[in-house]
Structure 1
Amino acid sequence: MSATRITLGELEAGENDAIVFEAIKSAFGTPDSLGIIAIQLPSDHVYHAQRKHLLELAPRIASLPAEVKASLEHPQSNYSFGWSHGKEIMESGPDTGKGSYYAQINPRAPSELTAEFTAKYPSYGYPNVWPAAQQLGGESLEHAFLGLGRTMADIGVVLARRLDAYLKAKTLGRSDVASFSGALSSPTNCHKGRLLYYFPQTEAESDAVAAAWCGLHLDHSMLTVLTRAITDPSVLDPADKSGLYIQLPSDTQSQNLTNAGNKKDQSVKDEPRFVRVAIPEDCVAIQIGEAATYASNGLLRATPHLVKGSSRSNVARSTFACFLQPDSEFDLGAGKTFGAFSEEILALHYEQQ
């Protein structure tokens, strides 16, 4: 199934609200929306080269010596900086199917990282952690990671401006709906990048992981900007069903999935239904996160999703997500800040560590 699609030029021009608003409504604004939009980029956009460069580094990081990867782990932030593998807790237990590398896209100045801030928001209160270039054959992970992350964040802010216009029209300028572009353009935003490497599985393992490489969850960001994955081998069997799956909104409501731990109502026995969503080669995709659902008073809908593993053996997958997030003190309503909300979610995901 294809995501709702629009060009970056159409979003930037702002000349035809009808086209843009219809795309936003289709992607995010109805009970049947999948909560994702694909933004087509020009063929000469810098994103394409940046994506290829960074994603090709993912397997190299995953294959670093164990002692090097251990030195890049950051448990004091709930693994919200640097490398981790098997630390995140999903519904089925520790997630060992993927390796993860987190960094702040706009690192805070050392003067901002006070002991008080770090104690309150450990997921955001540390400097980034990077491997030395010589450990990656002279490649700078920092340069590649932050370059792609900032490009994707800029695209996300373009969409955020159009979301603001859509919500203003939808609510007749109601004051209780936040400005997305204002929140995400703040110099103290909490944007996080996450480079992901899904390990190839043996034939015996592939049956077990085909259900999910990454368990069912809601993103807690405002917006999540996603690349199309790179796989190894690059061309998969047409029968391969790996990739991004989104739970149908009608089943989301019946399953009562919320991000209070991303746990389902166990009294519900009906099997949820999912649709596979492919990201076109010339597009980035943007999903709505739960913070946006709060900030829009439910007018924009986040949807639960998972990444399904390959039923074929020895298939690896590399991808990158840029989580666009407001300042840690951004008010989500009901007296809860974004920082407090995200710390609650991350603590649940790493509760057994």
Structure 2
Amino acid sequence: MACSPEAAPPTVQTVTISYSELKDKNADLSMKIEEGFGPNSLGILSITDVPGYTSLRQNLLHLSPRLAKLPEEVKKELEDPHSRYNFGWSHGKEKLESGKPDILKGSFYANPILDIPTTEASLIQRYPSYCGTNIWPDNALPELEVVIVPKTVIPCRLGADGIQIMVPSQVVFGEDEIAYQIGETTEILSRGFLCATPHCVRAPKGEKASGLERSTFAFFMQPDWDEKLNFPQDVHIHKELILSNGSLTFGEYSEKLLDKYYHMKT
């Protein structure tokens, strides 16, 4: 069924780096990185031709709604309040800018590298958002027993709701590409040379919202929790959280930031 035409914003393609270029230790990618993440950039680039990515992505996308539809008592067992829900299941715990709980999004967080990052009690107490243990739905949704059921996929049209990069143009990249955005920690570490990507998620409204669900898989890369962050004077990011000496560890900064946007730690 054809949709009525709507005025779409102009499009701009992301800067791309192929997987083979990324693995080539002799490849100079500095120009592409500057084009993708520099002061005058969109703040995004994408990686192409990643082996096996398309099938892995589809498997995860089909698994996502199955997780969300588990019984509430099962999902409750997957929650970790101590980490401010940064491990396991989270629904209605994160807050919108208005201060109201975000009840339209469910999230599942896990460390994809280490199931148990550390057993040192002092670190777990100091950085609960990073040093917690993964919580897997082993009984309710074991990974090896996942059955992929064919679904109807509706391609995202230009100008559609969902995650939005806050620039005048519509940013586009292929389904088989992995998009990388820069976060504020990288902007701090680069002293403002690499710029964080302003973005938001817009929910569809009215008839467009009926019967639709949106699944997104994000992989966060970050410094070690004891990495010192020295905040440059000309990078105005969360100045109210920074100590007078202008220095915090990444873990300390993250805990302060989570206190601001999530439930305060008791």
**TM-score normalized by the length of structure 2:** 0.78
Match of 2:4 in 1: none
Match of 1:296 in 2: 190
Match of 1:107 in 2: 114
Instruction: Within 5 Å, give how 1:223-262 maps onto structure 2.
Output: 233-236=152-155, 238=157, 241-248=160-167
Question: 1:344 and 2:259 equivalent?
Answer: no
Please state whether the residue corresponding to 1:97 is helix, strand or coil: coil
Match of 2:21 in 1: 10
Offset, 1:49? 2.1
Instruction: Within 5 Å, give how 1:1-353 maps onto structure 2.
Output: 1=11, 2-15=13-26, 17=28, 20-30=29-39, 32-42=40-50, 45-92=51-98, 93-107=100-114, 109=116, 112-133=118-139, 135-136=140-141, 138-140=142-144, 233-236=152-155, 238=157, 241-248=160-167, 274-311=168-205, 312=208, 313-333=210-230, 334-351=246-263
Q: What is the count of residue pairs matched by the alignment?
A: 231
Gaps of 5+ in 1: 144-231, 249-273
**Deviations along 1:293-348, whole A, 9 cap, x unmatched?**
11111110002201222341221111100000111001111321110111111121
Which one has more relative contact order, counting CA pairs under 8 Å at least 6 apart?
Answer: 1
- Quickly say closer, same or farther: Cα 1:109–1:11, change in 2 above 3 A: closer
Please give the alpha-carbon distance, in whole angstroms, between the structure 2 residues aligned to 1:297 and 1:238.
36
Q: Which 4+ runs in 1 deviate beyond 6 A?
A: none
Offset, 1:22? 2.7
Please give the alpha-carbon distance, in whole angstroms, between the structure 2 residues aligned to 1:15 and 1:70.
49
| % identical aligned pairs | 41
Please give the alpha-carbon distance, in whole angstroms, between the structure 1 residues aligned to 2:158 and 2:55.
29
| Higher-helix-fraction structure | 1
Offset, 1:277? 2.6
**Deviations along 1:227-285, whole A, 9 cap, x unmatched?**
xxxxx74124747612321223xxxxxxxxxxxxxxxxxxxxxxxxx544333112000
Superposed CA RMSD? 2.4
| Higher-strand-fraction structure | 1
- Quickly say closer, same or farther: Cα 1:275–1:233, change in 2 above 3 A: farther
Please state whether the residue corresponding to 1:123 is helix, strand or coil: helix
Gaps of 5+ in 2: 1-10, 231-245
Please give the alpha-carbon distance, in whole angstroms, between the structure 1 residues aligned to 2:179 and 2:79.
28
